[in-house]
Structure 1
Amino acid sequence: MARALYIHWPFCAKKCPYCDFNSHVRDRVDVEAWQAALLVDMRAEAAVAGGESLTSIFFGGGTPSLMPPALVAMLLQEAQILWGFSPDIEITLEANPSSVEAANFADLALAGINRVSLGVQSLEDETLQWLGRLHGAEEALKALETAQKHFERVSFDLIYALPDQSPEQWEAQLNRALGFGTSHLSLYQLTIEPGTRFETDVRLGRFTPLDDDRAADLYALTRQITGAAGLPAYETSNHARPGEESRHNLTYWRYQDYAGIGPGAHGRRGGFATVRHKKPENFLKAVSERGHGIAEQTTLSQDELISEALLMGLRLAEGIDLAALEWRFERPRSTMLNAKALATYTDLGFVWQRGSRIGVEPQGMGVLNTLIEALVADDLVRA
Structure 2
Amino acid sequence: MYEVYIHVPFCLRRCGYCDFNTYTASDLGGGASRDHYAAMAIREMRLVKQWQIDHGITEPAASTVFFGGGTPTVLPPSSLGAMLRAVDELWGLAPGAEVTTEANPDTVDHDSIAALRDLGFNRISFGMQSAVPRVLKTLDRTHTPANVTQGVKAAAQVGLRSSVDLIYGTPGEDMGDWRYSVQTALDLGVDHISAYALTLEPTTAMGRAVAHGTMPGPDDDDEAAKYALADAMFTEAGLDWYEISNWARPGYESRHNLGYWRNVDWAGIGPGAHSHYNGVGRGRDVRSWDIAHPKRWAQAIDRRDVPWQGSERIDALEHAEELIMLGVRLREGLACTRVERAVARIPGHTGAKTIEGERGPHADPIDDLVAEGLIEVHGTRIIPTLRGRLLNDALIERLYEAYGL
Give the TM bin, normalised by the shorter chain: over 0.9
2:138 corresponding residue in structure 1? 130
Structure 2: segments with no counterpart, 5+ residues: 279-284, 354-360
- Kindly tell me: are residues 338 and 258 of structure 1, through their superposed partners in 2, closer, same or farther at Cα, counting changes over 3 Å? farther
Structure 1 range deviating more: 237-246 or 69-78? 69-78
| Amino acid in the other structure paired with 2:331 | A
Tell me the TM-score normalized by structure 1: 0.92
RMSD: 2.4
| C-alpha contact 2:17 2:200 (8 A) present in aligned 1 | yes
Separation (CA, whole Å) in 2 of partners of 1:64 and 1:101: 14
- Structure 1 residues 323-342: aligned runs within 5 Å: 323-326=337-340, 331=345, 335=352, 341-342=365-366
Tell me, in whole angstroms, the C-alpha distance in 1 between the residues paired with 2:402 and 2:191.
Answer: 39
Taking structure 1 as reference, are residues 330 and 184 closer, same or farther at Cα in structure 2, changes over 3 Å only?
A: same
Q: 1:362 aligns with which of 369, 381, 386?
A: 386
Deviation of 1:172 (Å): 2.7
Structure 1 spans left out of the alignment, 5+ residues? none
Mapped partners of 2:46, 2:341: distance in 1: 32
Separation in 2, partners of 1:124, 1:294: 40
**Deviation larger for 2-11 or 97-106:** 97-106
Indicate the larger mover: 152-161 or 209-218: 209-218
Q: Which amino acid aligns with 2:391?
A: V
SS of the counterpart of 1:258?
strand
The 2-side partners of 1:196 and 1:373 are apart by: 29
Q: Shift of the alpha carbon at 1:100?
A: 4.9
Distance change >3 Å, CA 168–CA 251, structure 1 → 2: same
Kept in 2, the 8 Å contact 1:272–1:300? The answer is yes
Checking the alignment, whether the CA contact within 8 Å between 1:304 and 1:380 is kept in structure 2 is no
- 1:299 equivalenced with 2:313 (yes/no): yes
Partner of 1:114: 122
> What's the offset of the Cα at 1:309?
2.3
Q: How many residues align?
A: 380
Segment of structure 1 superposing worse, 319-328 or 37-46 = 319-328
Query: How far is 1:64 from its partner?
Result: 0.5
Partner of 1:37: 40
Match of 1:91 in 2: 99
Q: How does 1:115-194 map to 2 (within 5 A)?
A: 115-194=123-202
Amino acid at match of 1:203: A
Q: How much has 1:193 moved relative to structure 2?
A: 2.5
Secondary structure of 2:99's match?
strand
Q: Which residue of 2 aligns with 1:16?
A: 15
* Residues 330/251 of structure 1: CA separation in 2 closer, same or farther (3 Å cut): farther
SS in 2 for 1:104: helix
After TM superposition, give the deviation of residue 138 of structure 1 in Å: 1.8
- For 1:259, what is the secondary structure of its paired residue? strand
Q: How big is the shift at 1:291?
A: 3.0
Q: Which position in structure 2 is the counterpart of 1:351? A: 375
> 1:217 corresponds to which letter in structure 2?
A
Q: Partners in 1 of 2:14 and 2:302 — Cα distance?
A: 27
Q: Helix, strand or coil: the match of 1:51?
A: coil
Give the equivalent residue in structure 1 for 2:398: 374
Tell me, what secondary structure is at the counterpart of 2:238?
Answer: coil
| CA shift digits 1:11-63 (9 cap, x unpaired) | 11111111111101125753453223211211222231543111100001011
Query: 2:230 matched to 1:222?
Result: yes
Percent of pairs with identical residues: 34
Amino acid at match of 1:41: E
Contact 2:317 2:343 in 1 (8 A): no
